[in-house]
Chains A and B, each alone.
Chain A
Amino acid sequence: MIPGSFSYHRPASVADAVKLLSDLGEDARPLAGGHSLVPMMKLRLATPAHLIDLHGIATLKGIRRDGNNLVIGAMTTQHELLASEEISQAMPILHEAALLIADPQVRYRGTIGGNVANGDPGNDMPALMLTLGATYRLEGPGGSREVAASDFYQGAYFTTLEPGEILTSVSIPVPAAGHGSAYEKLKRKVGDYATAAAAVILTMASGKVATCSIGLTNVHETPLLAADAAKAVIGTSLDAATLKKAAAAAEAIMAPAADARGPVEYRKHVGGIMVTRALQRAAANAK
């Protein structure tokens, strides 16, 4: 399995990368960690004439604090996310989810930018970004703009990225101190995409849910925010009836594909269970 021929470019700045992408047009693809694109190229399902490797752009790496946000450069790898004390302190759900992505080798190469920008409904980070209320920075020939993660995903592999644009960083508001969180991912084996997964961030006050946000992975052609499910648990102590209601509300917006991971009904059913488990675990680890 050998990819088709292409020309290799390794720009040293975002401006150069954007210029290359704009000049070369649709035949050019940016290359981040390459662990989605290169396998597709080997299968000849992707045949770009030009690859713009982003590894030479130092400014796309790293994690920094900006006010109440953590800003993560697009080329920061999952391995680097896992090594970050700041991430595991401020938003442990990101650490937890990164550890569930693929396997150690893939995490050394796979990047957060590639994970969120590819628009693959199976990727874990997009639903996390919706749940955390993240914003993406896109840089293109016309300058830069910020897009809420919740506005970014339009369909499978289809996002608001315009031709010539590169996602350069994600900015994530640090959740409230004492918040609880959990990412529950059902998968057939280590390294698999989710059969269904749910992310929960919540805060508790006097034993009742004060705020809650729920995201869903791989149960629709885009990642989902389960707003009605989150609303259903506010003010409750997550009793059995409430959990059932929340799971039902989440299942109501799921539209998974039937594939090797199971038929539609099964994937919706386990999606509801993931929501239930994530809510319970998040409540248990909230302070």
Chain B
Amino acid sequence: MAKTHVTMKVNGAEVEGLVEPRTLLVHFIRENLQLTGTHIGCETTHCGACTVDIDGMSVKSCTMFAVQAQGSDITTVEGMANADGTLSALQEGFRMMHGLQCGFCTPGMIVRAHRLLKENPSPSEQEIRMGISGNICRCTGYQNIVKAIQYASAKINGVEFREAAE
């Protein structure tokens, strides 16, 4: 099958590559661009480990073809840190609140939570839980992931984070 030339912006850099139409975006990101932070979990659009941010939308990159991303602006977990290389509020939240155990779901969680907080900087606990309902974690039971996002929300809004009593 003839290959197609694609160009897109990934984490601020212009990238290009030759892909078959059937190449999934997640494979292009991991194999062509060698950005292996984006994970492949279920491959069936359920788990959200492959979530990337495309033109302001959280998208499961295993369910989109690389040719469809032509000309788009993509951010992966590798692009989540602050410009000076320090941890973003979300990354810091995951670290401080122990928002991960094995870490496999974490890239998708962080990329998804990034868009969630852009759209709603002060989500309620329920809004956070529904907001990450497309991302599956099999270790944490979500408690600390929710806290990590609450931590980031507080930091973004310049208020002190107080853990709710359990």
Interface residues, chain A, CB within 8 Å of chain B? 1-8, 34-35, 38-39, 41-42, 51, 53, 55, 79, 102-106, 108-109, 190-191
The contact string, 1 if C-beta is below 8 Å from chain A, for chain B 5-16, is 000000000000
Residues on B with beta carbons closer than 8 Å to the beta carbon of A55: 68
Contact A6 B59 (CB under 8 A): no
Contact B45 A108 (CB under 8 A): no
Indicate if B1 sits at the interface (CB-CB under 8 A).
yes
Closest A residue by C-beta to B1: A5
Q: Which of A2, A39, A104, A191 contacts B63 (CB 8 A)?
A: A39
Closest B residue by C-beta to A105: B134
Helix, strand, loop or mixed for chain A's interface? mixed
Nearest CB of chain A from residue B114's CB, rounded to whole Å: 12
Contact B133 A35 (CB under 8 A): no
Helix, strand, loop or mixed for chain B's interface? mixed
- How many angstroms from the CA of A4 to the CA of B22 in the assembled complex? 7
Residues on B with beta carbons closer than 8 Å to the beta carbon of A7: 1, 21
- How many angstroms from the CA of A35 to the CA of B44 in the assembled complex? 10
Residues on A with beta carbons closer than 8 Å to the beta carbon of B90: none
Known: A6-B22, A38-B64, A190-B133. A105 touches B59 (CB 8 A): yes
Nearest CB of chain A from residue B91's CB, rounded to whole Å: 20
Residues on A with beta carbons closer than 8 Å to the beta carbon of B4: 8
Contact A103 B63 (CB under 8 A): no
- Interface size for B (C-beta < 8 A) is 30
Residues on A with beta carbons closer than 8 Å to the beta carbon of B45: 35, 38-39, 106
- How many angstroms from the CA of A55 to the CA of B71 in the assembled complex? 13
Residues on A with beta carbons closer than 8 Å to the beta carbon of B132: 104
The contact string, 1 if C-beta is below 8 Å from chain A, for chain B 52-92, is 00000111101111011000000000000000000000000
| A79-B57, A190-B130, A190-B133 given; 7 more Cβ-contact pairs under 8 Å | A1-B43, A8-B65, A42-B62, A104-B116, A104-B131, A105-B51, A191-B46
Contact A53 B68 (CB under 8 A): yes
Closest B residue by C-beta to A43: B44
Nearest CB of chain A from residue B145's CB, rounded to whole Å: 15
Residues on A with beta carbons closer than 8 Å to the beta carbon of B48: 103, 105
Residues on A with beta carbons closer than 8 Å to the beta carbon of B60: 105-106, 109
- Can you name 21 A-B residue pairings with CB atoms under 8 Å? A1-B44, A2-B24, A2-B27, A5-B20, A6-B21, A8-B4, A34-B65, A35-B45, A35-B63, A38-B64, A38-B65, A42-B62, A51-B21, A53-B68, A104-B130, A105-B48, A105-B58, A105-B60, A106-B134, A108-B58, A190-B130
